[in-house]
Amino acid sequence: MTQVCLVGSEDVNLRYELLSRETARNALATYDLQEPFANTVAVDTVSLGAAVALLNDLNWYLIRFADAALVRDPSISETEWLSRDLAAAIRDDDIAPEDTGRFLNVYGVVESEPSDADETADTQAAAERPPELVEPMLLTRTGDTIPEYDLQDVDDTLVVRVTESEFGA
């Protein structure tokens, strides 16, 4: 399964914005919506082509309400994501999957910490909050390793492969 993850802009509730509009709601109706990170919407699709097609269907909403659209295809990488542009380029055979690992956009992942109100009210609900994606950082892979994420202290990182033009923009 190929996964699509839409990362909402900081000032919007992405899930609400998508589901409150009929066209976006219809495009997402056949999918099981997930929230792997705070203010994200993720779905599983059958292929890279289906993922790119869904993103194209949602384009109007993505421009207005999302900071990023990510695609993870296990035939390319089990752990690394692709930017929307890179996923489309691979689907269109403009770039070979094995030529995609050099240019990266790495997000920090911060686990949600319960607030004082959460600890007294409902610790289980606070513990179930998804982690948050923070401050993406452009990096270039040289060899088998990537430079360390150093913009802030994070619990983990999320690696997104991008096109050369996205990297230089």
- Angle between helical axes of 48-57 and 84-91 (0-180°, round to 10): 130
DSSP 87-140: HHHHHTTSS-GGG-SSEEEEEEEE-----HHHHHH-HHHHHTSPPEEEEEEEEE
Domain assignment of residue 58, given as a range: 2-95
CA 141 to mean position of chain CA atoms: 19
What the block records as the tokens of 129 is: 């909050």
Does 9 share its domain with 82?
yes
Domain count along the chain: 2
42, 71, 95 - which closes a domain? 95
Does 34 share its domain with 68?
yes
What confidence score (pLDDT) does residue 112 get? Answer: 80
| Per-residue confidence band for 128, with pLDDT thresholds at 50, 70 and 90 | confident
What confidence score (pLDDT) does residue 44 get? Answer: 98
Residue 118 has pLDDT above 70, yes or no: no
Residue 21 has pLDDT above 90, yes or no: yes
**Type of residue at 114:** P
Three-state SS at 149:
coil
Range with lowest mean pLDDT among 1-10, 41-50, 145-154: 145-154
pLDDT tens readout for residues 73-107? 999 999 999 999 999 999 999 999 999 999 999 99
Does 126 share its domain with 48?
no
CA 114 to mean position of chain CA atoms: 24
Residue 15 has pLDDT above 60, yes or no: yes
CATH code of the domain containing 12 = 3.30.70
What confidence score (pLDDT) does residue 117 get? Answer: 54
DSSP secondary structure letter of residue 145: B
Q: Hey, how many other C-beta atoms are within 10 angstroms of the C-beta on 115?
A: 10
> CA–CA separation, 166 vs 149, rounded Å?
19
| Per-residue confidence band for 115, with pLDDT thresholds at 50, 70 and 90 | low
The alpha carbon torsion through 31, 32, 36, 37 (nearest 10 deg) reads 70
In this prediction the pTM is 0.89
What confidence score (pLDDT) does residue 123 get? Answer: 57
103-110 and 2-8 beta bridge pairing: unpaired
Does 73 share its domain with 15?
yes
